[in-house]
Amino acid sequence: MMNPRTFFSSAAVASTALLLSATGCQRESTSEVRLNFDVVWDGAPFTVGDVALDDQGREFQLERLECYVSDFALHDVEEGWIEVDTVARIDFSLAESHALLSVIGTGDRSIDGIRMGLGVPADRNKDVDPASYDDLDHPLGFKGSAGMHWGWAAGYIFSVYEGRLLADPNVPFAYHAGNDTCFRSVELMWDEPWLLECESVDTEVELVLDAYACLHGENDVIDPEVDPETHTGNNLPLALRWVDLYQSAWSLKP
């Protein structure tokens, strides 16, 4: 027969363990969601550098597709939008390009939507010197922003879409949208909510950008032969047309 002292001691240990396992997610904890990015051309698989056909049947070569994304939020079915502060630079030519969301809270979450800023909010670009970041690899720092014309003189560009029509001679184009006027957000909802478990670190979500739709929309089409270039400051109307199409070109991977 078990010694009473041993029995109660064992029971206490067992009870404590049971209590801890039942209430482990009641403490504030962090879950991670990795956002992967893919690009398609009019819904079909596509890789930056490929040649595709535009709406006029012209050979279209997209050579550079990069953007800043930030100002994230996940939609919790019960709690509403949960904001997540992070900035990422996405290069669609690099398979490993991603954003990592650290979601702080208690308990599991039922997620059915995501909101993403296409660019960087004003407080992160207005007069902010990329050289001031001590973290050399920060996406908005000197090294991290190379090629994004990130700075007061160059224009704080949020998205870069460059390539050429393969005519003879070829017709290069470059659409650089930036500055606060071009900041947009996109909200995407899943048909069914999914469970984000507390303290999970292996959740992945895939966002898709249709590069064709960036120039071809229901109400507007940008023709590189007519409108080949904007760096925003020099051609704001074209930059605004581009970001409006760009905003509508995002979707969730089924």
Partner 1 sequence: MLWAVALGWSISGCDCGKDPQVWDPTPYELHIPPFFPPMDIPADNPLTVEGVELGRMLFWETRLSEDQTMSCGSCHLPEINFADPEPYSTGVTGAVGTRNAMALINLGWASSFFWDGRALSLEDQIREPVPHPSEMNLPWPEAVARLQDDDTDTRYPERFFDAFGTTEITEDYVVMAIAQFLRTMVSADSKFDRWRRGEVELTDSEYSGYQIFLREGGDPEEVPGGQFGGDCFHCHGEAGLQFTDHLFHNNGLDPSFEADPGRALVTGSPLDSGLFRTPTLRNVALSAPYMHDGRFQTLEEVLEHYNSGGVPSSTIDPFMKYTTGGLSLAPSQKADLLAFLHTLTDTSFVQNPDFQNPH
Contact residues: partner 1, CB under 8 A: 49, 63, 129-134, 136, 141-143, 145-147, 149-151, 153-154, 162-164, 169-170, 172-174, 227-231, 233-235, 238
Closer of 237 and 254 to partner 1 (Cβ):
237
Closer of 43 and 147 to partner 1 (Cβ):
147
As measured in angstroms, the least distance from the Cβ of 111 to partner 1 is 37
As measured in angstroms, the least distance from the Cβ of 170 to partner 1 is 6
As measured in angstroms, the least distance from the Cβ of 136 to partner 1 is 5
Which residues neighbour 20 within 8 Å (Cβ) at sequence distance 6 or greater? none
Which residues does residue 194 pair with via DSSP β-bridges, in sequence order? 111
- Collapsing DSSP to helix, strand or coil, 235 comes out as coil
Q: How far is CA 140 from CA 47, 143, 247, in A?
A: 25, 8, 21
Nearest to 147 by CA among 214, 229, 65: 65
Which residues neighbour 42 within 8 Å (Cβ) at sequence distance 6 or greater? 52, 210, 212, 213, 216
Closer of 171 and 252 to partner 1 (Cβ):
171
Which residues neighbour 119 within 8 Å (Cβ) at sequence distance 6 or greater? 67, 68, 69, 70, 158, 159, 177, 178, 182, 183, 184
Distance CA 180, CA 125 (A): 8
Distance CA 31, CA 96 (A): 20
As measured in angstroms, the least distance from the Cβ of 169 to partner 1 is 4
Closer of 179 and 230 to partner 1 (Cβ):
230
Q: Which helix (H) or strand (E) holds 15?
A: helix 4-23
Rg (CA), the chain: 23
As measured in angstroms, the least distance from the Cβ of 51 to partner 1 is 11
As measured in angstroms, the least distance from the Cβ of 145 to partner 1 is 7
As measured in angstroms, the least distance from the Cβ of 125 to partner 1 is 13
Closer of 96 and 134 to partner 1 (Cβ):
134
137-156 in b/e burial notation, b at 16+ Cβ within 10 A?
eebbbbebbeebbbbeeebb
Closer of 156 and 250 to partner 1 (Cβ):
156
Closer of 88 and 239 to partner 1 (Cβ):
239
